[in-house]
Chains A and B, each alone.
Chain A
Amino acid sequence: MSILLKNKSDDQIIQELSPQKFGTRGIIWTAILLILCCIGLFAYIRQLKIGLAVTHMGDYASWGIYISNFVFFVAISLVGSLVTAIFRLTNVKWSTPLTRIAEIIAVSAIVFAALIIIVDMGRPERLYYLATKGRIQSPILWDVIVISTYMVISLLLLYIPAIPDLKILLGKPNAVTKKLAPLYNWLSSFWVNSEIQNKLFSKSISILSVLIIPVAFCIHTVTSWLFATTFRPGWDSTNFGAYFISGAFLVGAGAVIVAMYMIRKAYRLEDYITEKHFDRMSKVLVMLALVYLYFNINEYLVPAYKMKKDEVSHLSELFVGEFAPMFWIAILMSMILPILILITKKGRKPKAAFFTGILVVIGAWFKRYLIVTPTMLNPFLPMHDVPQKYMHYFPSWEEWAIAIGSLAGALLIITIFIRIIPIIPIQETLNEKNEKALEN
């Protein structure tokens, strides 16, 4: 709790935390995202018309940038459980202003994780066949079940804590626009802040906080099993679940820091998202980067030490071959540099932490690409008598457009949420302020 908040009245806090109309920058930002989404949609319509032939995927690289993007979205969605549930259950009070940011990121990421997998299917109606003809033995079906479950829990964890905030805003005529008022009314008009409601409210959040942790672990473990249950170099690992989860927490934490900085700057929320929050989130990120680095050393050093004949080409391509620049840059960007920067006090200042967060997120995206593509191009059985193009993979413009469009779409959802609901929980902020005042 910032000392500055003590001097603010409740009305002032409500006013400052109310969703605000976009300024010029906000409109430009939204317009850019919309344009990118439209380009992605155009490319997807082309893919629907022509088929997956518009992609550069083939017999060997049958998983490409779409699956890399899917793993990235699933990873980033895990942050919701980290900040909302784990911090809440461990009574970490300083995380209050970050919970909604984390949940919004989680919801938008999981929505696009589900959408990008439909894109990868080629024909969207195959989703129906997955539901009607799917085999429960397949990890793909487990992934469908767990993603839909996680999406519902994340939405509930976003909605329930927002009920009191929306009701507060309904009571302040200047805080809500006419267009948003019916929505707020439908979502929260029943909230009267009674004892029984508060009891049910706390109980629901506690249940969801407990429930989301195993589901979040499942979502990324099952995603890792999509790879680990396939007999291929680089994926044939019993460690993949833990390796994926640690990476997911890292990229999620990086995304939260980036979002914290941008929201703080755009809405002038320096009194709510303070340097202390950046400092603590940065420390969390250092710890997560160290854990992920440990798993990476395990995943690459052990097979590299043995250099089994079947894995030589895959590991060589990663360490010194075609993918080496991307591999080392990803390791450097997503783990080494964040540790080196954030371990210093200056590095944990908002701007430095923001740039480090960007490094982590970009590095993590490339890391997912490196998990998928080099393995597909280096199967255990050698590639004989195939055209040269089968041995390489670089996404087509349609693939890039769809991938970038999906990333823009996720950012657009976050932007819309920020415009619609208070990005920092108002009720919780007021409660904490009043509790502090009573203690003093």
Chain B
Amino acid sequence: MKKRWRISLFLIIGFLPVPLVLRSQDTAQLAVRLSVQFRSEADRSMNITATAGAKINSRLSPVPGLLIKFYLDEESENNLIGDSHTDSNGKAAVSIPASLLSKWNESDEHTLIASSPDTLQFSSSSNDITVGKGKIVIDTFGESNSHSIQVTALSKSNDGWIPIKDMEILLGVKRLDGSVLKFTEDGSFTTDSSGKVIVELTDTTIKGDEDGKITLLAKCEDNDDFGTIISEKEVYWGKKTEFKSDFFQNRTLWSTRFRTPIWLLVLVYGMSIGIWATIFYVFRQIYKIKKAGQVIN
């Protein structure tokens, strides 16, 4: 009996801390994993994106609503690029402001830092990425039936811009939704030793706007040294699109009352006139009945 009591007491004391341990685990701060991406669009913008994730229930899930601060080269107020809260996908993005352009131009390579502060739920976290300055230049040559596109990948060094060899570049035509119409099956080309790719475009069926304008797009995605580099160029090689401006001018069921289909007008007015003519004929008969009565009276 005594033994039983001892075992029971042992179990009670032994398992008493379990809920406390579980509770403490519930309230413990979660570690945030930050990843940083850089994206440069020629003559447009330079964006830094941070993606925040945390292991919740053993799964890496995006962390929304987390404040991320972005710095150029070092974490100081002078080097603050900007701050942003993560969205539902755990992403926060900022652009390099004009106030930091002089600092940006001082060096050919920069470290971009993203850091999140300590919160009740998440512990502070920081990560960085070092990127060089790269760009893609699109040159075009062409005749009426065949067009050539020359794409050159360049990186900045002390001596100026030097070619980047063996760089994977996606080349195609930019669609209205931002996706790319690829020239080949995978759409990617590799630069040669002079950093160049030359592509012959013989397809004359690509649809452009009313002037035949299309936008060529060259993109190097998630490069270890330069991040994502994008370049665009507008050319007039597309097939001209004719916009039918008379869509609402036609006589249709959905057009205004002044453009009713003829068949409908004939049908409705024909039936109405036929029926009302008969009604007036009956009124005339009543008039005749009245007249006939007056004659006899």
Task: Determine if A201 is an interface residue (Cβ-Cβ < 8 Å).
Answer: yes
Closest residue of chain A to B290 (Cβ to Cβ) is A190
| Option from A145, A196, A204, A211 in Cβ contact (under 8 Å) with B268 | A145
Q: How far is the CA of A200 from the CA of B296 in the complex (A)?
A: 15
Kindly state the interface size class of chain A when it binds its partner.
20 to 34
CB distance from B12 to the nearest CB of A (A): 49
Q: How many angstroms between the C-alpha atoms of A142 and B268 in the bound complex?
A: 8
A163 and B257 contacting across the interface, CB-CB below 8 Å: no
Q: Within 8 Å of chain A (Cβ to Cβ): is B184?
A: no
**Could you give 22 example pairs across A and B, Cβ below 8 Å?**
A136-B264, A136-B268, A137-B253, A137-B254, A137-B257, A137-B260, A137-B261, A145-B268, A153-B279, A160-B286, A190-B290, A190-B293, A192-B296, A194-B293, A196-B292, A200-B289, A200-B292, A207-B278, A207-B281, A208-B282, A211-B275, A211-B279
- The answer, yes or no, to whether A309 is at the interface (CB within 8 Å) is no
Chain A: minimal CB distance from B136 (Å): 43
Are A152 and B289 within 8 A (Cβ)? Answer: no
Q: Which residues of B contact A (CB under 8 A)?
A: 253-257, 260-261, 264-265, 268, 271-272, 275-276, 278-279, 281-282, 285-286, 288-290, 292-294, 296-297
Chain B interface helix/strand/loop/mixed = helix
Determine if A46 is an interface residue (Cβ-Cβ < 8 Å).
no
Closest chain A residue to B288, Cβ basis: A200
CA A163 – CA B256 in complex, angstroms? 46
Closest 4 CB pairs of A and B: A190-B293, A135-B257, A190-B290, A204-B285
Q: Is A149 a contact partner of B285 (Cβ separation < 8 A)? A: no
Most chain B CB atoms below 10 A, which of A137, A194, A204: A137
With a CB–CB cut-off of 8 A, which chain B residues contact A156?
Answer: 279, 282
CB of A197 within 8 A of CB of B293, answer yes
Taken together as a complex, chains A and B put the C-alpha atoms of A145 and B253 apart, in Å, by 18
B288 to chain A, nearest CB (A): 5
Contacts of A142 in B (CB 8 A): 268
Q: Would you give the shortest CB distance from A196 to chain B, in whole angstroms? A: 5
Give the chain A neighbours of B275 by CB distance below 8 A: 149, 211, 215
How many residue pairs bridge A and B at CB < 8 Å?
Answer: 71
Q: A371 CB to closest chain B CB, in angstroms?
A: 24
**Is A191 an interface residue, CB under 8 A from the partner?**
yes
A153 to B296, CA, bound (A): 28
Instruction: Tell whether, in the assembled complex, residue A152 and residue B279 are in contact, meaning their CB atoms are under 8 Å apart.
Output: yes
A62 to B209, CA, bound (A): 42
Q: Is the CB of A204 within 8 A of B286?
A: yes
Give the residues in chain A near B261, CB-CB below 8 Å.
Answer: 137
Question: Are B289 and A207 in contact, with the CB atoms below 8 A?
Answer: no
8 Å CB contact of A207 from B268, B272, B282: B282
Cβ B264 vs Cβ A190 within 8 A: no
Asked whether A25 is an interface residue with its Cβ less than 8 Å from the other chain, the reply is: no
Is the Cβ of B282 less than 8 Å from the Cβ of A204?
yes
Known: A192-B292, A192-B296, A207-B278. 5 other contacts (CB 8 A): A133-B257, A149-B279, A153-B279, A197-B292, A218-B271
A142 to B264, CA, bound (A): 11
Q: Does A134 count as interface, using CB distance less than 8 angstroms?
A: yes
Interchain nearest-CB distance for B9 vs A (Å): 55
Interface positions of A from 201 to 220, Cβ below 8 Å from B: 201, 203-204, 207-208, 211, 215, 218
Given the known interface contacts A192-B296, A196-B292, A197-B292, the answer about A136 and B279 at a Cβ–Cβ threshold of 8 Å is: no
B131 to chain A, nearest CB (A): 42
- Chain A residues near B281 (CB-CB < 8 A): 207
B257 adjacent to A201 (CB under 8 Å):
no
Which A residues are CB-close (under 8 A) to B255?
137
- Contact of A192 with B297 at beta-carbon distance under 8 Å, contacts A133-B257, A142-B268, A215-B275 already known: yes
Q: How far is the CA of A191 from the CA of B297 in the complex (A)?
A: 10
